[in-house]
Amino acid sequence: MRLRIHADVLLAACVIIWGFNFTVVKYATAHGFTPLAFAGTRFALSVAVFAVIGLTRNLGPKLERRDLIYLIGWAATLTTINQVALPYSFQYASVSSVALLFGTLPIFAGVYSILWKIEQPGRRIWLAAACSFGGVSLVAIGSHGGPDGSVVGILVGLIAPGTFSLYSVALIPLVRKYGTLHVNVLAALATAPLLLATTGPSLVHTNWGAVSGLAWLGVAYSSFVSYALTNLLWLSAVQTVGAARATLYANLQPFFGAIFAVLLLSEVLGRLEIVGGVAIAVGIVLSRTGSARKLKRPR
């Protein structure tokens, strides 16, 4: 019982940390960091943590050459897009809107699992997708008062959950074969060259003297706490309570993100955004209770 309670506390802490990270990223990119400079700095610090883990722990057998090429291709591309998309999304949409859009993450994962032929969907899965993306439309309309002015912001806001879900599904075969920690460490190291090359020019031209102390603190939080620490805590908790229970906690992330934005950034959620968030939540519930038959392990 103590282990279960302890794991639940870890899961709840991770979700709260991730929810707060939306506000942190918004603040940092408004006080000296450009989106690309933030993404590059954040990932460089995070990779340093994973490099230490890789050097100090026995991660297991080396990846086969084919698996290593597969890992580099998927991880480097998707993680780079994901890391750049999140800070950029706040240039076009409010933090609360972007946070609510992260409620589509399990829906994206379900769709990708179908395309990967991991699962065969039931009717509720398709209904869940319809509810969630209908909710996205309401968030889009409500965030700017009309559908035309919010298209770019919503599309950019969907890139981060969409790419993270695809990353998670694409690496399922490697996680099953080599373990989660091993794959995450190698994925971070494989991504570093491409991401740093993408953000390098912005890092060079950033006016570092204009970056506020709180913005630096925000980068440190986003790198060490929201990225590196929560990865380790989450993996530890999931081993105790299982992935299904952990996913229920993860589904709370967008709503914590919206709450922090309202409380700390004085953002206002309109009626359509609230209704859209509820529709996304309904989609999440349906996706967890819908029938989906596992077909086979991906190769």
Domain ranges of the chain: 2-294
Instruction: Evaluate if residue 91 carries a pLDDT over 90.
Output: no
pLDDT digits (tens, 9 = 90+) for 201-210: 999 999 999 9
Q: Coil, helix or strand for 120?
A: strand
Q: What's the confidence (pLDDT) of residue 212?
A: 94
What 3-state class would DSSP assign to 122? coil
- Angle, in degrees to the nearest 10, between helices 105-115 and 271-289: 40
pLDDT single digits (tens) 170-183: 888 888 888 878 88
33, 223 contact by CB (below 8 A): no
Asked whether the beta carbons of 150 and 144 are under 8 A apart, the reply is yes
Q: Measured between alpha carbons, how far is residue 241 from residues 45, 157, 170 in Å?
A: 30, 31, 23
- The residue ranking higher by pLDDT, 53 or 287, is 53
Task: Decide: 123 and 298 in contact? Cβ < 8 Å.
Answer: no
